[in-house]
Every structure is written in structure tokens, then in C-alpha cells.
Amino acid sequence: FDDREQSQTETGPKGTVLRVPVVTTAPLGVLDYRWDNEMPPPEPGLIVEVPLGGRKVRGVIWHKASDQSGKKVSDAKLKSIEKLYDVPPLSEELLKLVAWVAAYTLSPLGSVLKMCLPVQAALEEGPSQTGVCWTADCAPPARMTHARQAVLDAAADGRVRTVPELAKTASVSDAVVRGLMKCRALQTTTIAADSPYGQPDISRHGPELSQEQTIAAEAIKNAVFTGGFAPFLLDGITGSGKTEVYFEGLAEALKTGGAQVLVLVPEIALTSQWLDRFHHRFGVRPVVWHSDVGQAERRRAWRQIATGEARVVVGARSALFLPFRHLAFITVDEEHDPSYKQEEGVLYHGRDMAVVRAKYAECPIVLASATPSMESLVNANSGRYVCLKLRERHGQAVLPDIHTIDMRKHPPAAGSWLSPKLKEAIDKRLFRHEQTMLFLNRRGYAPLTLCRTCGHRIECPNCSAWLVEHRFKHKLECHHCGHEIPVPEACPQCDTADSLVACGPGVERLFEEVNRDFPSARIGVMTSDTMESPTETATMVHQIAEGRLDIIIGTQIVTKGYHFPNLTLVGVIDADLGLRGGDLRAGERTYQQLEQVAGRAGRADKPGEVLLQSYEPDHPVITALANNDGEHLMRLEGEAREKLHMPPFGRLAALILSGPNQRTVMEQGRLLAVSAPASGSVQVYGPAPAPMARVRGNFRMRMLLHAHKGEPVQVIIRDWFGRTKMLPEVKVKVDIDPYSF
Ligand code: ADP
Ligand code: ZN
């Protein structure tokens, strides 16, 4: 921070000047400001507005004020705090979390604090905001259209949104929403920041629990009752009732007046199904926090979480930084999910930071998964987490039978991606009016477009990546920077007409095949392209649950915690896909993903079957799936990683160097390599071209710091950077505990 920015002189009041240390939302550390004597005494956590470099920014008072906090700026040059917001101060616990995350991820305090103050409007009193919503009094419209149905599905969660917000979530024009308002299928209401949330009804009981469910639930309830930090790993197979078990913990926590609870879910797993279950159990809707929540609702949620009136929050990882007053219980559902890792801005892992928050809040935390991460398994084995196991599916349901189709022996016909065996199995389901899910983790029509004449492959001009054909949109698209072009008629290189061919399958191509081979089936495609908002996803999920679709084709978004009772077949088109990239976590990740997708089959009274198409049926991951022996696989994985001191038995930090000029990026890499730390227990590898060597026109190189457990990685990196010349044109980003390695 440049002191000169504070150089404007002020004629302050006589006597001593009270300095307060403030952290703003700018990517900086602590700055001193002058506290006006007329204001009430400063208190850590108070939210303020201060001038900074010609702008006004939000900030919080970081710790107690003093008259000599020892900063470089002289009293005379100190700027004043301009405004004090009338909201409860951020708790000490939250400030501790901010400090911890900043230190751990090597980010400026301000960048982390910014995540705690996401909505400016939340800080202002301001008038109520008007919006539309669906309530029980609304009547269905006399004339129903697809667009109208989409709006009603979008509004089914009862949240208040502005007309444009609702139209956008439903992907229709504003006029459709207005039409529904006119015929009273939607209501106009206002949301005041203080309109209260319904209070959960804790006198209600959940279902009667099985014996193993009871044991797990009792352990959690006891910990909640006693209070204090207590981490649990709830390791239960898909469909074993993990949700019912942690609901018991929630209910116990809510018995204490004023106590608040947080449930973290992967962003796209926050389904209407989950909300319906919650509503069924507690008689109200929880406060929902994720990227699709509108501004008015965010303001209301943030304020009432800060005052303690909002009791239950379910949200994506960003909910971790909400200003809870009295957090008494945290659950991280699907704790293994890679989407908990934030890959932009502050690079933190939501699950790990949730454990830190629980520590500061002194409350129990449950990490739930059918396929726990290696990190959590190791913590459970070492006794740091209490491990609770659920080994049976609820009721009559049993785990599906998993079979591998050896694609070397049963190859699909030319131009087809489904082996005859999988087709037969689909036919059987159609005949029995049961549902099939086909999983292929590849968006678009084909991953590569190639010229038959000259061999040219169509690449992104900004990234080292192929452009992916999206036939539904008639576009070729880059999945890294969003660059898109219309599908060319002729090869851009040799200009030969009709020479371009699509190589390899994506979900759209699979749809084409399934549509051709099963003409009578009703088919849905679930990818992030067809489901742009959680609401669109909810619509499709409803359709599936109500049996309006026979075959669902999807990417990884179908793996997330859904419960479709009539779904009895899961077909994995390319089980080897995730194993090819070859990073060290590939085995763990592929196993988790396929086990989760397999877990969608046979969740109710009809038995399920899973067919894995594989060219490597003897691969340990494939055999672990087929033999239903993930424990064994993870044990072998763990042993291998322990030998190599790889996470979680050792530490990694990835450095991504990027800039528009390749030479300077390489020069920075050379400088860092020359001054790199090296010892028996700390090694630096690279620089090497990053896995994506060019993104959005920037050249990228990667270095990897590998250290044995117990090494103070952050200190080592800070020292290292301190003695290295850092070039201003090159951005160096540090990713502590990178997800892939
Ligand atoms: P998981 O989260 O482990 O995948 P769920 O909690 O979604 O499992 O449970 C799967 C299904 O079984 C849900 O429909 C749930 O309501 C039902 N279920 C689980 N336990 C019970 C129980 N004890 N009594 C009645 N239904 C249960
Ligand atoms: Zn690109």
C-alpha cells in the first residue's frame, strides 16, 4: 500500500488522534484511519466506510484502536472514517476466520474480508424491494405454456425476485412473468430486509431411524448438546440416509434458542429435492445462499443472519463467510466434491475452511459422503475425526449390481458409442417403464473438429484447447475462455468444403444416437449448457421424478445427490475418461464420480443395475467399482501416496505464473527456480508449461512446491518470494493444497 495515497492533509481536532486499524475490501492488509471523537467508541468488527485512493470502500475495524498503532502515516495525513453502518459488528470468530484464511492461502486480508461483505445493500437501511413470488394462494393459470411452466417451476421455491430476475432464471421474457402476474398465478410482494423467516418447527419428528442410523445420530446429537468443536465423518453408502442423520443434529442444535446452523452443499447439488425434504421435516424453508439468489433476498438473508434471526442456512461454499451470530452446528454434504475448492480469487477449500470455522465457533461439524475424500479418511483413521458408518441402504433398497462391459470384446457399431449390451439393457427398462441414466462427462457434441483433407484441428485462438462443437447452438466454443464461432462450412486452413468431421462423443452426440435408436423414448439432456440455473435444473429434476422422462443423458451434474425412485439403470459411456489425464488424484476422483453416479440406480424398491463401458476393465478403479470395494482402493491409494509424501501425507503448493508475454513469464520462472528452496524435505519442480499453457491469451507456467508434512509451507513460500525479483508484468498465483496434482 502506497502511503502517498494518504497524503491529503487534514486539520484534525486538537489533542491525541485516535487511530483505528481497518481492513477494507481492497486487496490490501490493515490500514490506519482516524476515528472521529463524535462517534461512539470503536469496536472490532464494526463495519465502516472509508476513503481509499479516491474511492470509498467498505471495511471493518480490525482490532482495538490505539493512539500509536505504529504505522507510517503521520497523524496529520490520516484520513477519517466516514461512515459507520448500522449493522451488528462481525464476530470475533469471523474475523479470526478471515485472518486464518488469508494467512493460509497467502491472500491479502482485504480479499478474504470481501467475501464476508458481498452485498453493499445489506449494510443500508433502505426501503423494501418489490418483487414477485409464488404463494399457496396463487391459482394456476387457465392457459399453460412451456414458458409459463418454466416460470412457475422457477418460482416454486417461494422466493421473492424482481420480474427480470425471475424471467432470467426461467429463461423467458419479462412479458411471460407479467402475464402470470396478471392472471394471479404469481403474487406481487415486497421484501423488506427485516421481513422475518419462518422458524423451524423442532417439535416435529423425523422418520424412525434404523439401528445404525440411530447410533450415528445419537453421537452427533450428543456432541451438539455438549457443544464444543467436534468433527465427524459420516461415511455412508449412497441412499443410506445420511441426510436424515444430520437432520437430527440440526434439530438438536435448533433446540437452543438463537442457535444457528449451516449446511454446505456443492453449488449445483442444492436441489429443490433437498429443500422439499427440509420443508417436510421442519415445516419451513431454510435460508438459501448461492450465486443464483437475487439481490433483495441476499440483503435480507445477510442482515438476518447477522442479527441471528435466520436460524438455518443452506448454501454453497461462499456461505461459510456469512456473519452468523451463534453458529452451533455445521454440515458439509458431499464433502468429497471438487467444487468445494474455489479456483478463482482466494483459492480456498470450502470443506477445510468449514472445519476451521467450526473450530472458532466451537461447534460440531459433520462431513458427509458416500465416497469420502482421502483427506477425511486419513483424518478419520488417525482419530482426529470420529467416523460414523452407514453400511446399508434404507428399507428394501440395496446397492446396485455393477458390471463392466469390456469394450474390446463388445465394441459398439461404427459411429455409435453404446455397446449392444448397454442397448439391450436400455430396451429392457423402456419395456418395464423404468428409467435409465446415461453418464458421459463431456459437454457439447464432440470434443474435437478435424479436417479430413488437411488434418487441421480447430483450436481456440486464446487458449491451448480445442474448440468444442455445440450442435444445439450451432457453435464451436472454447470451454476455457468462452470464445465461440459459428460452425464453419469449410476448413479454415485448406478451405475444402464439407471436409470437417466431429471426433469423439459429447452428450449432444449421445443424444443423437439414443434418439435414433430409441425413437419412442422421452429423452432429457442435463448439462451445464442445458441447465443454466439451479431452477432449470429443478424443472428437469421434477420431470424425472414424476416419470415424464425415460432416458436422462448427463454430465457430472447428474451425479449430485438426486433420488429418483424409478431409475434402475445407469450406463457409464466411457468409464476410463477421467483416468487418462493422469494426475495423482485421477483415481480417487474417478472412483468418487462413478460411485456417485452408480448410486443413482435402484434407490427405492426396484433393484438397480450399473453398466460401465471400459477399454481397461482391469484398472484398479474399475475393478473397485465392480467389486464394490472402494475401501480397498482408497487404502491402496493412500499407501502409494504415503510413500511419495503426497497429500494428505505431505504438502503441495502450485505456483501459476501468467502474463501476456511468454518471455517474461519464462524469465520469472527462471528467477524463481534459481532462488527456490531445496532441502531433504522441501523440493521445487518446474517451471514447466501449465496443464493449460495458454488461457485467455495469457501464457502460463507452473511450478510445484512439495514438502513433507509439518513443513511451514506458507513461511517457506513467503521467504522464497522475498528473496526473488518479482517482475510486475507477471502474475504469480499460489494455490496451497491444489486439488489436482
Ligand atoms: P443419502 O443422503 O445417504 O444418500 P438419503 O438421506 O437421501 O440418503 O436417504 C435415501 C432415501 O431413504 C430418502 O428418500 C430418505 O427419505 C429415505 N430414508 C432414509 N432413512 C430413512 C428412515 N429411517 N426412514 C424412512 N425413510 C428413510
Ligand atoms: Zn479459449
pLDDT in tens, 43-77: 999 999 999 989 999 999 998 766 555 556 777 78
Percent of the chain with pLDDT over 90: 68
Residue 393 CA, chain-centre distance (Å), reads 27
User: Biggest alpha carbon distance in the chain?
Assistant: 90
Which residue has better confidence, 402 or 9? 402
Helix 146-155 to helix 534-545 angle, to the nearest 10 degrees? Answer: 100
Provide Rg for the chain, Cα atoms. Answer: 27
- If one counts every other C-beta atom within 10 angstroms of the C-beta of residue 728, the result is 7
Q: How far, in Å, is the centroid of ligand 2 from the Cα of 481?
A: 4
Q: In whole angstroms, what is the distance from residue 568 CA to residue 368 CA?
A: 24
- If one counts every other C-beta atom within 10 angstroms of the C-beta of residue 158, the result is 13
Q: How far, in Å, is the centroid of ligand 1 from the Cα of 489?
A: 52
Contact 553, 506 (CB under 8 A): no
Q: In whole angstroms, what is the distance from residue 3 CA to residue 79 CA?
A: 11
CA distances from 289 to 192, 201, 402, 542, 634 (A): 17, 21, 36, 21, 33
Q: How far, in Å, is the centroid of ligand 2 from the Cα of 477?
A: 8
- Arithmetic mean of pLDDT, 429-437: 96
Tens of pLDDT along 368-415? 999 999 999 999 999 999 999 999 988 888 889 999 999 999 999 988
- The beta strands (E) that lie in 392-499 are given as 401-406, 435-439, 448-451, 468-470, 475-477, 484-486
| Sequential DSSP letters for 336-377 | T-GGGB--SSS--BHHHHHHHHHHHHT-EEEEEESS--HHHH
Give the predicted TM-score (pTM) of the model.
Answer: 0.88
Which residue has better confidence, 70 or 454? 454
Instruction: Say if ligand 1 is within 6 A of residue 244 CB.
Output: yes
Q: How far, in Å, is the centroid of ligand 1 from the Cα of 244?
A: 6
Contact 56, 102 (CB under 8 A): no
Q: Whose CA is nearest to atom 5 of ligand 1?
A: 241
- If one counts every other C-beta atom within 10 angstroms of the C-beta of residue 187, the result is 16
Nearest ligand by distance to the CA of 485: 2
Contact 405, 421 (CB under 8 A): yes
Instruction: Say if ligand 1 is within 6 A of residue 687 CB.
Output: no
Instruction: Say if ligand 1 is within 6 A of residue 242 CB.
Output: yes
Nearest to 177 by CA among 193, 158, 162: 162
* Atom nearest to 245 CA in ligand 1: 6
* Atom nearest to 236 CA in ligand 1: 3
Instruction: Say if ligand 1 is within 6 A of residue 563 CB.
Output: yes
Residue 13 has pLDDT above 70, yes or no: no
Q: How far, in Å, is the centroid of ligand 1 from the Cα of 277?
A: 10
Instruction: Say if ligand 1 is within 6 A of residue 389 CB.
Output: no
Whole-number pLDDT of residue 10: 38
378 CB-near residues (< 8 Å, 6+ apart): 638, 648, 649
* Atom nearest to 333 CA in ligand 1: 2
Nearest ligand by distance to the CA of 466: 2
Instruction: Say if ligand 1 is within 6 A of residue 602 CB.
Output: no
How buried is 623 (Cβ within 10 angstroms: 0-12 exposed, 13-18 middle, 19+ buried)? middle
Q: How far, in Å, is the centroid of ligand 1 from the Cα of 338?
A: 24
Phi then psi for residue 333, to 5 deg, are -85, 145
Q: In whole angstroms, what is the distance from residue 276 CA to residue 273 CA?
A: 5
CA distances from 656 to 671, 693, 736 (A): 14, 10, 11
Whole-number pLDDT of residue 126: 66
Tens of pLDDT along 81-132? 988 998 899 999 999 999 999 999 999 999 999 999 988 777 877 666 677 7
- How many residues are there in the chain? 741
- Arithmetic mean of pLDDT, 682-696: 92
Q: Which of 213, 233, 243, 606 to mutate to test the pocket of ligand 1 (most atoms within 8 A of CB)?
A: 243
Instruction: Say if ligand 1 is within 6 A of residue 394 CB.
Output: yes
Residue 336 has pLDDT above 90, yes or no: yes
Instruction: Say if ligand 1 is within 6 A of residue 535 CB.
Output: no
Q: How far, in Å, is the centroid of ligand 1 from the Cα of 241?
A: 4
489 CB-near residues (< 8 Å, 6+ apart): 497, 498
Annotated binding site: 451, 454, 460, 463, 478, 481, 491, 494
174 CB-near residues (< 8 Å, 6+ apart): 163, 164, 167
Q: How far, in Å, is the centroid of ligand 1 from the Cα of 239?
A: 6
446 CB-near residues (< 8 Å, 6+ apart): 468, 469, 502, 503, 504, 505, 506, 509
356 residue type, one letter: V
Instruction: Say if ligand 1 is within 6 A of residue 207 CB.
Output: yes
Quote the cell numbers at residue 81: 472514517
Q: How does residue 558 score in pLDDT terms, banded at 50, 70 and 90?
A: confident
Residue 276 CA, chain-centre distance (Å), reads 21
Instruction: Say if ligand 1 is within 6 A of residue 271 CB.
Output: no
Instruction: Say if ligand 1 is within 6 A of residue 371 CB.
Output: no
SS3 387: strand
Residue 29 CA, chain-centre distance (Å), reads 27
Residue 2 has pLDDT above 60, yes or no: no
Q: Which of 244, 541, 605 to mutate to test the pocket of ligand 1 (most atoms within 8 A of CB)?
A: 244
Q: How far, in Å, is the centroid of ligand 2 from the Cα of 466?
A: 8
Q: Whose CA is nearest to atom 24 of ligand 1?
A: 207
Instruction: Say if ligand 1 is within 6 A of residue 243 CB.
Output: yes
